[in-house]
Amino acid sequence: MNRFFSSSLVVSFLYALLGFFFLNVSSEYLLLASAVVVVSGLLPDIDGSDEIPSRELAGLLAAVSPLLFFELYPGLFAQRISRVALIVICCYLLTRIVIMKIMRLVFSPRGMIHSIPAAVVTGQAVFLMFYDLNLVDRSYVAIGAFLGFLFHLIIEAYSGVDFVATAVGESVPKGGEPVLKMFGRSWGATAVMYCSMFFLGVLIVREVFPNLGVSAELTY
């Protein structure tokens, strides 16, 4: 975990310099993007390939999920404290236990979570999460999430670059999967990842181009 954390810090620092000197990004969003890069750089291990970061990241997601819930339903803030506490506890348990268990069942260690489509999905999810930013800042933060995730894969892969899920390179365990890949050995996990990428992509297109008819069912 230490090598991924330290490398994520370096990538976040370089990315912040890029935003400051060339993109004129405000200091608030520079810090936000830097934090996103670091967190995204640890995300691939959420599939349980490394128990410690998987547990810590699950705790982080469990802490953030109530904030997203209250953002979607702000009227709940006016409810009694007991109801707010119940919502926070339910979000925590749902994220920390249920969702993480499902992810570990669907995605095997070094499976499709360790893939280029997963890096794309991470960037897409971050883009949709920060909907209140302008397009430039929003894209900057989302690209940072993608790069943080991707650099984790690159560091772990070394020479194990293979787009057909055939293990190559000294860094890939014998019989294991490479991490820089487009398709995994499990077609179910691959289908889930590509469906997620397509669905999030449609949502992004609808937000960026609201007048563009993606399909008859997907227009506002």
Return the closest-CA partner of residue 179 out of 54, 57, 45. Answer: 45
**pLDDT tens for each residue of 135-174:** 999 999 999 999 999 998 888 876 444 444 444 344 455 5
Report the distance separating Cα 95 and Cα 54, nearest Å: 13
Entry pTM: 0.77
**pLDDT tens for each residue of 30-74:** 999 999 999 898 888 776 655 566 667 677 777 777 877 777 777
36 membership: H or E segment, kind and range: helix 27-42
CB 139 within 8 Å of CB 133: no
Return the closest-CA partner of residue 151 out of 59, 30, 36. Answer: 36
CB atoms within 10 A of CB 70: 16
pLDDT for 166: 44
CA distances from 182 to 84, 117, 172 (A): 41, 6, 16
Alpha-helix residue ranges (DSSP H) falling in 48-186: 51-72, 81-93, 100-106, 116-129, 135-157
**pLDDT tens for each residue of 79-113:** 677 877 888 888 888 877 776 677 666 666 677 88
